[in-house]
């Protein structure tokens, strides 16, 4: 079972207190975008074996959305950070690099 | 290949069972094959089998990173049904179900197909309406299902509790010719038949790269060297996104763990399959007497093949509501498999951006029931370039918005 810390209210809780909301840092496309852009926004999700960034919501708590960095092979949680962040903080990326040198996730490394 | 028969058992009994041969050969890989299938699970082996049987293509290798049938083929809850809503799904699942009926004779291998009937319980007004609609759709598609009353449900499943504390049973969608089969035997039977046709099944041969030149496939790189091919079929379920990445394209699937568990064996008490999708649990009884129980998927992407404790709790809680007698049962084993889930809960079967590479994935939480139909259609697609069974399931449906929405019929909580 995952143990996550909500960056909004600071509470550390078990997975059942939270709800996963899919891939994080998705670039949204609106009217006027072409088929490829809509396709990648709606369907072409990251599905890595390893480092993954995703959105979570503190359902049975403060109710706020936040981001988490996690390993899909080992279920290790590298850290959580506020939803109002455009990319993962350096501190979390350094932590991941220490564990998985040379990892890549879309535009981040 | 020596045929299995009652006579063979008698013959071997008289000579200390020394004459049984290996069910399939384990040859060294050749330098080149006409067709390479990645993944020796049910779908991959079925594809190879129908390539040989229906199209005479036997210069085929099936590559497997682990052991044959050791992925989701050996991890599912063995349920076979075809009560889907949309026409393309009903066509391929019903083709599969009908092939299961004669599979043991066809393969000369007992897959223990048991058409014991499948009930999907309706426990809310919405489910009642949904399943009535499915029954009507099935009637038009030529799939025999009916919507039955709570009284009929109780007659078919005496151990059920109709007046559950949260969700009383309001009816059910009954498919009398649905049922179960021995999942390992399906993979083993296909493997034996493929090996007999001269195909190579190569285990412990992980594909580490895919080579293509000028947009056309050349072959694969494996842990046992480079192997060339004219056509490549990817049938790797949970690892579909990973293997597609090797060939340089992306597919709209996400991988999650789905889990199941079995109880200690008890005397026969339920002779059909019951799925309770609102409370989320489904159960059948194996021939050994174990209650085989299917759980939900983890709510987040992962490749861990283990599942999580709170899902076991949720599943077991749902089953105790529905079947109070299981409350004192001990659970023996629990396991997980990685399923590849698409946005519309329907599989992806089609060509890919690389010429000569075909993909069959995205079966999500319900691939076992589809094995023969999927193999039949995918083999036709690989041999002829098109197949009426699979044409609606191409990758381009995500570009064109032609979804095949089966999020209700898929039956497993996502």
Tell me the per-residue pLDDT of B322-350, one tens digit each, with 9 for 90 and over.
999 999 999 999 999 999 999 899 999 99
How much is the pLDDT for B131? Answer: 95
Q: From CA B370, how far away is CA A19, in angstroms rounded?
A: 31
Q: From CA B399, how far away is CA A38, in angstroms rounded?
A: 8
A19 three-state secondary structure = strand
* Residue B305, both tokens: 């093949």
Mean of all residue pLDDT scores within chain B? 94
What architecture does CATH give domain B30-82+84-108+183-253+344-400? 3-Layer(bba) Sandwich (3.50)
Query: What letters, b where the CB count within 10 A reaches 16 and e where it falls short, cover B187-207?
Result: bbbbbbbbbbbebbbbbebeb
* Residue B227, both tokens: 């192997």
Residue pair B97/B81 in contact (Cβ under 8 Å)? The answer is yes
CB atoms within 10 A of CB B132: 15
pLDDT tier for residue B411 given thresholds of 50, 70 and 90? low
Contact A43 B242 (CB under 8 A): no
Q: How far is CA B179 from CA B114, B119, B158, B252, B283, in A?
A: 6, 10, 18, 31, 12
DSSP codes joined into one string, B212-267 = EETTEEEEEEETTEEEEEEEEEE--GGGHHHHHHHHT---SEEEEEEEEEEEEE-S
Q: From CA B329, how far away is CA B279, in angstroms rounded?
A: 19
Q: From CA B291, how far away is CA B314, in angstroms rounded?
A: 16
Q: Which residues of A touch B301 (CB under 8 A)?
A: 47-48, 52, 54, 72
Contacts of B288 (CB under 8 A, 6+ apart): B265
Q: Is the dihedral of CA A102, B241, B257, B201 positive or negative?
A: negative
Contact B304 A75 (CB under 8 A): yes
| Average pLDDT value for residue range B201-225 | 96
State pLDDT tens for residues B244-274.
999 999 999 999 999 999 999 999 999 999 9
**Which segments of B87-177 does DSSP mark as H helices, in order?**
87-101, 103-107, 125-141, 150-156
How much is the pLDDT for B390? Answer: 96
State pLDDT tens for residues B270-321.
999 999 988 888 999 999 999 999 988 888 999 998 888 888 998 999 899 9
Ranges of CATH 3.30.9.10 domains, chain B: 118-178+255-342
* Interface check B353 vs A, CB under 8 A: no
Q: Look-up: residue for tokens 């009994």?
A: B13
CATH topology of domain B118-178+255-342: D-Amino Acid Oxidase; Chain A, domain 2 (3.30.9)
Q: Is the dihedral of CA B341, B343, B345, B347 positive or negative?
A: negative
A58 three-state secondary structure = coil
Residues in chain A where the model's pLDDT stays below 70:
none
pLDDT at B414 over 60: no
End-to-end CA distance of chain B: 44
Q: How far is A44 from chain B (nearest CA, A)?
A: 5
A72 three-state secondary structure = coil
**Whose CA is closest to B370, among B237, B254, B250?**
B237
Report field, pTM of the whole predicted structure over 0.90: yes
End-to-end CA distance of chain A: 27
* Interface check A1 vs B, CB under 8 A: yes
**Distance from CA of residue B28 to its chain's centroid?**
28
State pLDDT tens for residues B74-104.
999 999 999 999 999 999 999 999 999 999 9
- Show the domains of chain A with their CATH numbers: 19-24+45-109 (3.30.2270.10)
Q: How far is A69 from chain B (nearest CA, A)?
A: 12
Chain B residue at shortest CA distance from A71? B302
Q: How far is B54 from chain A (nearest CA, A)?
A: 35
pLDDT at B413 over 80: no
Q: Which of residues 40-79 of A touch B (CB under 8 A)?
A: 42-45, 47-49, 52, 54, 70, 72-75
| Average pLDDT value for residue range B59-76 | 95
| Average pLDDT value for residue range B110-129 | 95
How much is the pLDDT for B56? Answer: 97
Residue pair A51/A105 in contact (Cβ under 8 Å)? The answer is yes
DSSP codes joined into one string, B380-410 = HHHHHS--TTTGGG-TTHHHHT-----TTTT
Q: What angle do CA A57, A60, A63 make, to 5 degrees?
A: 45
Provide φ and ψ at B296, rounded to 5°: -100, 175
**Whose CA is closest to B40, among B59, B55, B24?**
B24
Q: Count chain A–chain B contacts defined by CB atoms under 8 A.
A: 50
CB atoms within 10 A of CB B137: 18
B36 three-state secondary structure = strand
| Average pLDDT value for residue range B372-390 | 97
How much is the pLDDT for B53? Answer: 97
pLDDT at B170 over 50: yes
CA dihedral A69, A73, A75, A80 (to 10 degrees): 0
Contact A44 B250 (CB under 8 A): yes
State ipTM: 0.92
Contacts of B174 (CB under 8 A, 6+ apart): B117, B118, B119, B145, B146, B147, B148, B152, B156
Orientation of helix B371-384 relative to helix B87-101, angle to 10°: 110
How much is the pLDDT for B202? Answer: 97
**Whose CA is closest to B123, among B327, B274, B261?**
B274
Q: Which residues of B touch A39 (CB under 8 A)?
A: 398-399
pLDDT at B20 over 90: yes
């Amino acid at each position: 079972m995952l143990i996550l810390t909500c960056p909004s209210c600071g509470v550390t809780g078990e997975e059942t207190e939270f709800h996963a909301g899919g891939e994080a840092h998705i670039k949204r496309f609106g009217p006027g975008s072409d088929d490829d852009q809509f396709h990648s926004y709606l369907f072409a999700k990251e599905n890595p074996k390893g480092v993954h960034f995703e959105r979570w919501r503190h359902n049975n708590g403060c109710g706020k959305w936040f981001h988490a960095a996690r390993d899909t092979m080992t279920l290790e949680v590298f850290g959580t950070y506020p939803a109002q962040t455009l990319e993962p903080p350096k501190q979390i990326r350094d932590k991941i690099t220490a564990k998985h040198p040379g990892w890549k996730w879309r535009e981040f490394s | 290949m020596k045929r299995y028969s009652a006579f063979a058992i008698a013959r071997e009994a008289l000579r200390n069972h020394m004459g049984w041969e290996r069910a399939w050969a384990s040859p060294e890989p050749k330098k080149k094959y006409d067709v390479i299938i990645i993944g020796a699970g049910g779908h991959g082996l079925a594809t190879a089998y129908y390539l040989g049987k229906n199209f005479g293509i036997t210069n085929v290798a099936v590559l497997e990173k682990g052991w044959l049938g050791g992925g989701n083929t050996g991890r599912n809850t063995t349920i076979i049904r075809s009560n889907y809503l949309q026409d393309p799904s009903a066509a391929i699942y019903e083709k599969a179900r009908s092939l299961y009926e004669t599979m043991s004779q066809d393969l000369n291998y007992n897959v223990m197909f048991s058409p014991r009937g499948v009930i999907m319980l309706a426990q809310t007004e919405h489910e009642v309406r949904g399943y009535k609609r499915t029954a009507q759709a099935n009637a038009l598609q030529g799939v025999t299902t009916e919507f039955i009353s709570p009284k009929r449900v109780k007659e078919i499943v005496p151990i059920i509790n109709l007046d559950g504390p949260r969700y009383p049973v309001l009816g059910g969608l009954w498919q009398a010719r649905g049922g179960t089969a021995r999942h390992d035997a399906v993979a083993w039977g296909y493997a034996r038949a493929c090996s007999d046709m001269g195909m190579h099944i190569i285990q412990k041969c992980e594909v580490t790269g895919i080579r293509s030149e000028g947009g056309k496939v050349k072959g694969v790189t494996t842990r046992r060297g480079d192997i060339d091919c004219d056509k490549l079929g990817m049938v790797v379920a949970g690892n579909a996104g990973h293997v597609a990445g090797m060939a340089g394209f992306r597919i709209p699937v996400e991988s999650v763990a789905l889990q199941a568990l079995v109880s200690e064996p008890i005397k026969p008490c339920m002779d059909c399959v019951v799925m309770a999708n609102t409370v989320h649990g489904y159960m059948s009884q194996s021939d050994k007497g174990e209650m085989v129980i299917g759980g939900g998927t983890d709510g987040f992407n992962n490749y861990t093949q283990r599942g999580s404790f709170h899902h076991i709790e949720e599943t077991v809680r749902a089953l105790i509501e529905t079947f109070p007698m299981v409350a004192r049962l001990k659970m023996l084993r629990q396991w997980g498999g990685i399923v590849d889930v698409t946005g519309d809960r329907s599989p992806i079967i089609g060509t890919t951006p690389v010429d000569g590479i075909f993909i069959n994935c995205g079966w999500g939480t319900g691939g076992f029931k589809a094995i023969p139909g999927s193999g039949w259609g995918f083999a036709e697609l690989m041999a002829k370039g098109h197949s009426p069974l699979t044409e609606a399931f191409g990758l381009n449906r995500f570009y064109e918005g032609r979804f095949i929405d089966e999020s209700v019929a898929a039956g497993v909580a996502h």
